[in-house]
Amino acid sequence: MSRVVITGMGLITSLGNDLAASWEGIYRGKSGISEITTFDTSQHRVRIGGQVKSFDPSLYLNCKEIRRNDPYEHLAFGASMQALAQSCLKITEENAEDIGVCIGSGIGGAVTVHEQFRILYEKGPERISPFFVSMMIADGAPGIVSILTGAKGPNWAAVSSCTTSGNTIGEAWEMIRRGDAKAMIAGGAEKSITPICIAAFDNMHALSRSNEDPQRACRPFDATRNGFVMGEGAGMLILEDLEFAKARGARILAEMVGYASTAEAYHVTELSPGGEGLVRAMRRALSKAGLRPEQIDYINAHGTSTPLNDRTETQAIKTCFGAHAYRLAVSSSKSMIGHTMGAAGAVEAVISIMATLTGIIPPTINLHQRDPECDLDYVPNEARRSTVNIAMSNSMGFGGHNTCLIFKQYEE
> What residues are annotated to the active site?
162, 302, 339
What is the distance between the alpha carbons of residues 393 and 99, in angstroms, rounded to a whole number?
25
Asked whether 186 and 365 are in contact (CB, 8 A), the reply is no
Which residues, including other chains, have CB under 8 Å from residue 14's CB and lie 6 or more apart?
Answer: 32, 33, 34, 49, 50, 51, 52, 53, 231, 232, 233, 337, 338
Which of 58, 74, 70 minimizes the C-alpha distance to 10?
74
Q: Which residues, at least 6 apart from 121, have a Cβ–Cβ distance to it below 8 Å?
A: none
Q: H or E segment at 381?
A: none
Q: What are phi and psi of 382, to 5 degrees?
A: -135, 140
Angle, CA 300 vertex, CA 229 and CA 85 arms, to 5°: 90
- Give yes or no for a contact between 151 and 96, defined as CB atoms under 8 angstroms apart: yes
CA distance from start to end of the chain: 16
Q: How many other C-beta atoms lie within 10 A of the C-beta of residue 334?
A: 27
**Cα–Cα distance for residue pair 243/269, rounded to 1 Å:** 42
**Cβ atoms 72, 105 nearer than 8 A:** yes
Residue type, 192: S
Question: Per DSSP, which regions of 314-400 are E strands?
Answer: 329-331, 360-361, 384-385, 390-397
The upper half-sphere exposure of residue 374, i.e. CA atoms within 13 Å in the direction of its Cβ, equals 30
Q: Confirm if 275 and 312 have CB atoms less than 8 A apart.
A: yes
